[in-house]
Structure 1
Amino acid sequence: MARNTQVLADTTAPPVTSILARFAATHPSRGWSDAVEHEAVRTFYNWLGCAIGAARHEAADAAVAAVQMLRPAPQATLMGRSERVDIGSAALVNGITSHTFDFDDTHLKTIIHPAGPVASAVLALAEFEESSGREVIDALVLGIDVACRIGNTMYPDHYDRGWHITGSTGMLGAAAGCARLMRLDEKQTTMALGIAASQPVGLREQFGTMTKPLHPGAAARAGLMAALLASRGFTSSPRALEAPRGLVQVVSDKRAWHEVTDELGQRFEISFNSYKPFACGIVIHPSIDACVQLREQGVLPEQVERIELRVHSLVLELTGKKEPRDGLQGKFSVYHGCAAGLIYGRAGEAEFSDAVVNDPLVVETRNKVVATVDDAIDEQSVRVAAVLKDGRRIEVRVEHAIGSLQNPLSDRQLEEKFGQLVEPVLGAGKARDITGMCWSLATVPDVRALTALCQA
């Protein structure tokens, strides 16, 4: 008996696969404003710092050991490490390390971390192709636009189903960026997007484990492979995104097709990127910011009877771990984030180490945090009250945390973050040299000069 599995299918969807392919293949180089150009450089710079910073993490060691079992050809650099591997493995490992600390960029409208999949794939291929910095920036801007526009089309329904949207759209951005870098034509780029559309990566069940940062790495490798296959004549459906059994309609009931086409080539999603001051899930940031402000007002952990949070339901859905056991779990605990903010006045990678997560003072402070859901509060906001043992009540409201679009990190603050991540791995001198080259990336004739600096 035939099954009616597509009763809600949209058979009138516009040809978004070919529309995005044409855009990625034909949009003019540097065809955007100075503001978009600068944000592209900031996005790349932040991604690079995160990738180098986690180069010595145990997840990186495990990933490198695994890919070396394949005896890869030395085609591309692993950021912050001495090994060289094939371009697919470099995309994978650099994508993993860029997201390991959960310190990377965030497209706040969709909670996509767009640079992880796109920059990881593009830089690996660019090193092999001896591409210029200009070509890397073009590929990054266009690839991120493709990933985030499809994300806009499906969010939040797709995310609410349990997909990790960074991985499940990132392979499309990586494919588009790599196709652009290889100068594939519109038809080939359509095939690349179609091949990538059959490879969505990542489930939210994996948050708090090493598999979460695998998602952008695997998406980077999938997108790169899709472009390589398309360049050699491999075919796919030209309607792989919009067809009734295509990616969007299979994984989401929301299909806002206009999000693909509205102001395409005029509004660039990289303009809405943000950069984390805290090394954890983005929805924790307002609470950490508020607790840092409490500390700045003189509130000490030993004075506190309890800390009351009023947050959007998504905060506890994503980061409601009351008793994290290690650093990775701590990144998904709003309770730990609040304790770190109050005790240390910051929440960098050091504050999410296994030792800090299990420190008795941190555990004691964490247990004083009481969170209440209030969906009248925006996801980007929080109401925090410190109830002190002497009866005082000190309240802080955060509407837009530091690092948000409304309260962004400055270039100087990004440089400080980059230094904190990179100097322990490569040293202060290299960190300064890489910084200088990144800010002038558009003028770099061969990105191998940059990747050489990034090698341990």
Structure 2
Amino acid sequence: MATVLEKIATHVVSRPFFSPLARTRAQQAIVDTIGCMVAGAKDQAPQSVAAAFSNEIGPTGVSGVFTGGRSSLSVAALINGTAAHCLDFDDNFHPARAHASAVLVPALLAVASADGSISGDQLIRAYLAGLEAQAAVGFGVNPPHYNRGWHGTSTVGCIGAAAGVAILLGLDEERVAQAMSIATSLAAGPKGQFGTAVKPLHAGMAARNAVEAAHLAQAGITGRSDILERRQGFLDLFGGADSTGWDSLLWGENHIIETRGLVTKLHPCCASTHRVIDAARDLQNEHGFSLDEVRGIETKVGQSAVDNLAYSDPADEMQARFSMQYCLAAALLQGRLSLADFTRDAIFRPEIRRHMTKISMSAFSAEEERGVERIAHQVTVTLLDGRRLWTERLHAQGAIAAPITEAERHSKFSDCMRWAGLEDDRLYPTWADIGGADSVKSALRTFDQSYSDLTRP
């Protein structure tokens, strides 16, 4: 009988085609992630990673590094993955409980940088394969895996992305399964690191590990193909009492990106805040209140969200991204959140701080969450005039159930460029049709030149 990894490998290698919708959404995710990488490149986290490996970065490496220079595939994936995730503006993928693209895109681009024969079409196909592999791995262990404290981006994301890289390298089913097996031994990352620079480093580590696992499999390293389900394997060690395993894993005709999709973030902060922010803004838009008219705001979210949002009084911009009190107060005061809200000066603005104490957060009980894959987050606003306003959100804005427009996607990309100090928007066309590129390496070369021109004093 085939093992779980063998079944996943057979499926992602043999899928005959991808629909135009799947390809479009993959392309959108790649563009969005590129924007996040450019915006994040000057952040302290990727800059520190680049400094740690500065002796491996220079003008002649095979892969472009968004902090500057070129390096080996592994170092480029590590730095660029950290840059993609450091502002917490990159997409979410619920089936894997992971920031899927922040791992997949840096890993795939690192490989495509080194091989001029890899086309945009191959990049799209490898992305979709890696995403489907992430969903399949996550199927067997989530939500208990995530809820018990594992950062799915660096665990599930790493294993699934290894399949995507292996597909891009042209490996057969056996080697794809082996790449995922090797990556299982590299998967790690506790959510206790949320609010620190190690959290975005998790995405970089996962991207690097995916690249290395695929190349190790290509070179002949082998592990157990039953490492997900066997005793002392991934499920046994990383799952939980309520993890279901993979016995009922099935694939539909439509790709997971069509049926479940990604969530494109419109707020540059932890996704655990997003449904509450959107729900509270729904109430504000409907009833027209200001924060000065609010007596108190009660939020009720999943237990994992409470665990993620550990900073009611954030001391720096990274902690602020994981603070329900800061993010919700800033969003209601201004009507929006932007990258500019997450700087040292911004987070201590007295006009926001004085409202944060009005905001409380509680969790649904274990019984309320049991057997529910996804639970709606609730908001109750009590006004000074005595009115109590209540609503809930199952999906954040940016999910396929609450879609954003192409104009909003482009606007987000432009905001990322401006945050990086780039007033010119000419990089968007470079990536908006990457699927049609004859060579990703050539597109990257065009990007490198444009990026250099835009950043030149």
The CA distance in 1 between the partners of 2:172 and 2:2, in whole Å, is 20
Which residue of 398, 401, 413 corresponds with 2:408?
Answer: 413
* Contact 1:25–1:179 (Cα < 8 Å) also in 2: no
The CA distance in 1 between the partners of 2:233 and 2:160, in whole Å, is 17
The CA distance in 2 between the partners of 1:104 and 1:71, in whole Å, is 25
Which residue in 2 is equivalent to 1:210? Answer: 197
Going from structure 1 to structure 2, the CA distance change for 1:385 and 1:246 (only over 3 Å counts) comes to closer
Classify the secondary structure of the residue corresponding to 1:82: coil
Could you give the per-residue CA deviations for residues 349-371 of structure 1, whole angstroms, max 9, x where no partner exists?
A: 22222222221121111111123
Which residue of 201, 209, 214 corresponds with 1:222?
Answer: 209
The CA distance in 2 between the partners of 1:89 and 1:59, in whole Å, is 14
Going from structure 1 to structure 2, the CA distance change for 1:179 and 1:398 (only over 3 Å counts) comes to closer
Which residue of 399, 409, 416 corresponds with 1:404?
Answer: 399
Could you give the per-residue CA deviations for residues 230-289 of structure 1, whole angstroms, max 9, x where no partner exists?
A: 2122222232323223223332142431454x026x342233211111111212112212
**1:374 Cα offset (Å):** 4.2
Classify the secondary structure of the residue corresponding to 1:408: coil
Going from structure 1 to structure 2, the CA distance change for 1:41 and 1:380 (only over 3 Å counts) comes to farther
How many equivalent pairs are there? Answer: 437
**1:341 Cα offset (Å):** 1.1
Query: Once the two structures are aligned, what percentage of the paired residues are identical?
Result: 27
Does residue 1:17 correspond to 2:10, yes or no?
A: no
Which residue in 1 is equivalent to 2:434? Answer: 441
Going from structure 1 to structure 2, the CA distance change for 1:149 and 1:305 (only over 3 Å counts) comes to same
Does residue 1:312 correspond to 2:302, yes or no?
A: yes
Going from structure 1 to structure 2, the CA distance change for 1:308 and 1:191 (only over 3 Å counts) comes to closer
Which residue in 2 is equivalent to 1:268? Answer: 255
Which residue in 2 is equivalent to 1:323? Answer: 313
Which residue in 2 is equivalent to 1:285? Answer: 274
How do 1:18-417 residues align onto structure 2 when only pairs under 5 Å count? 18-28=6-16, 31-70=17-56, 74-79=61-66, 81-130=67-116, 131-253=118-240, 254-258=243-247, 260=249, 262-263=250-251, 266-271=253-258, 272-296=261-285, 297-375=287-365, 381-417=376-412
The CA distance in 2 between the partners of 1:338 and 1:98, in whole Å, is 23
**1:59 Cα offset (Å):** 0.9
* Contact 1:142–1:176 (Cα < 8 Å) also in 2: yes
Moved more, 85-94 or 248-257: 248-257
Moved more, 343-352 or 287-296: 287-296
Going from structure 1 to structure 2, the CA distance change for 1:451 and 1:426 (only over 3 Å counts) comes to farther
**1:317 Cα offset (Å):** 2.3
Unaligned runs of 5+ in 1: 1-12
Classify the secondary structure of the residue corresponding to 2:154: helix
Classify the secondary structure of the residue corresponding to 2:137: helix
Which residue in 2 is equivalent to 1:6? Answer: none
Which residue in 1 is equivalent to 2:455? Answer: none
* Contact 1:280–1:331 (Cα < 8 Å) also in 2: yes
Does residue 1:425 correspond to 2:420, yes or no?
A: yes
Classify the secondary structure of the residue corresponding to 1:69: helix
The CA distance in 2 between the partners of 1:374 and 1:182, in whole Å, is 44
The CA distance in 2 between the partners of 1:351 and 1:294, in whole Å, is 22
Classify the secondary structure of the residue corresponding to 2:187: coil
Which residue in 2 is equivalent to 1:5? Answer: none
The CA distance in 1 between the partners of 2:7 and 2:395, in whole Å, is 35
* Contact 2:45–2:201 (Cα < 8 Å) also in 1: no
Amino acid paired to 1:449: S
**1:404 Cα offset (Å):** 2.5
The CA distance in 2 between the partners of 1:399 and 1:147, in whole Å, is 22
**1:305 Cα offset (Å):** 2.3
The CA distance in 1 between the partners of 2:49 and 2:257, in whole Å, is 29
Moved more, 146-155 or 67-76: 67-76
Classify the secondary structure of the residue corresponding to 2:412: helix
* Contact 2:158–2:183 (Cα < 8 Å) also in 1: yes
Could you give the per-residue CA deviations for residues 16-59 of structure 1, whole angstroms, max 9, x where no partner exists?
A: 1112222333434xx12221111111111111111111111111
The CA distance in 2 between the partners of 1:326 and 1:198, in whole Å, is 34
Amino acid paired to 1:97: A
The CA distance in 2 between the partners of 1:259 and 1:441, in whole Å, is 36
Amino acid paired to 1:284: T
